[in-house]
């Protein structure tokens, strides 16, 4: 959840997973997945920063509770199974088994802002 300010000055807390798009026109207009539109005082960059900060706090909290890699290995093992085809299904997942890394996680690429017109 991120705190934002409506144009009238009142604050609100918004579930950031519901944001579909954020446009500057010149005010920041958020379009939610429901189609509802909201105009906020914060610019697009600030909205993005708040979403990233919120998700970072969530991931840090989850990682803090998980402990060492041993806790994630069962999930990683299940995700990498070579499942047989189901009758009537065209889907087949074939992912080579790669054990959980022993060192630090690879650095993620920074999020890019969409160019105008996207």
Cα separation, 11 vs 22, in Å, equals 18
What average pLDDT score do residues 94-117 get? 53
pLDDT at 94 over 50: no
6-20, 59-73, 97-111: range with lowest mean pLDDT: 97-111
The model's pTM: 0.56
Domain ranges of the chain: 2-67
Cα separation, 46 vs 34, in Å, equals 22
Tokens 């909201």 belong to residue:
38
pLDDT in tens, 24-38: 988 999 999 999 999
2-67 carries CATH number 2.40.50: yes
């Amino acid at each position: 959840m991120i705190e934002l300010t409506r144009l009238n000055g009142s604050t609100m807390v918004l579930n950031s997973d519901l944001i579909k798009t954020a446009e500057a026109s010149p005010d920041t207009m958020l379009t939610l997945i429901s189609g509802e539109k909201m105009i906020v005082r914060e610019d697009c960059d600030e909205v993005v920063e708040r979403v990233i900060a919120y998700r970072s706090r969530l991931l840090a909290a989850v990682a803090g509770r998980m402990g060492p890699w041993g806790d994630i290995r069962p999930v990683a093992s299940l995700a990498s199974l070579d499942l047989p085809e189901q009758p009537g299904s065209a889907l087949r997942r074939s992912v080579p088994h790669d054990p959980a890394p022993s060192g630090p996680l690879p650095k993620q690429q920074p999020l890019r802002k969409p160019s105008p017109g996207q």
